[in-house]
Amino acid sequence: MKTILYSSLALLLLSACSSAPSEDKKTKTVVDDKISAITQAQNVVQQTNKNIHTQEKATAQITAEPAHGPTLYIKCASCHGKDGKKSALSASQSIAGWPSEKTQAALHGYNNGTYGGKMKAVMKGQSKPLSDEEIIEVSNYISTL
């Protein structure tokens, strides 16, 4: 049984190796053509993705609206209350009606470590992501509470 199997395998290998050179050339050409087509398709996909990303970025710049004080304050309201009159975690002052300049100074102070008591570390984490423009906007809003 093994002899028949080995003989069949040997014949199969011999027939595969004895193919005419013109057939090998055809096979290589077809494979090369397919590789070339795949490479071209990949290049088209990459260029399309770049174009889409560029268009999305441009659209985002056109449609992006600046953050507004009330929207920014939502994060603050979880501790200070929706009207700013709540003592955050029973460890802070009511911030409702604070002048914008006072709130701005406090938020910048939390960021640079020059302001704050027990809640200093918590507030630094809350205020650090805010840009200067956002600090002004949320401070202006707090002054209206």
Which tens digit of pLDDT belongs to each residue from 67-120?
A: 688 989 888 888 898 998 988 777 788 899 999 999 999 999 988 888 888 878
* Domain ranges, ordered by start, for the chain: 69-142
Distance between CA atoms of residues 75 and 80, nearest Å: 9
The CATH code for residues 69-142 is: 1.10.760.10
Looking at residue 31, what is its pLDDT?
72
Reply yes or no on whether the pLDDT at 8 is more than 80. Answer: no
Q: Which residue, chain included where needed, has tokens 């906007």?
A: 137
Q: Which of 6-15, 109-118, 133-142 has the highest mean pLDDT?
A: 133-142
Distance between CA atoms of residues 108 and 135, nearest Å: 8
Four-residue CA torsion sign, 58, 60, 62, 66: negative
pLDDT band (50, 70, 90) for residue 32: confident
Alpha-carbon distance values, 9 to 14, 21, 24, 47 (Å): 9, 22, 21, 48
Higher pLDDT, 40 or 24: 40
Looking at residue 87, what is its pLDDT?
84
Looking at residue 107, what is its pLDDT?
92
**Both structure tokens of 120:** 């200093």
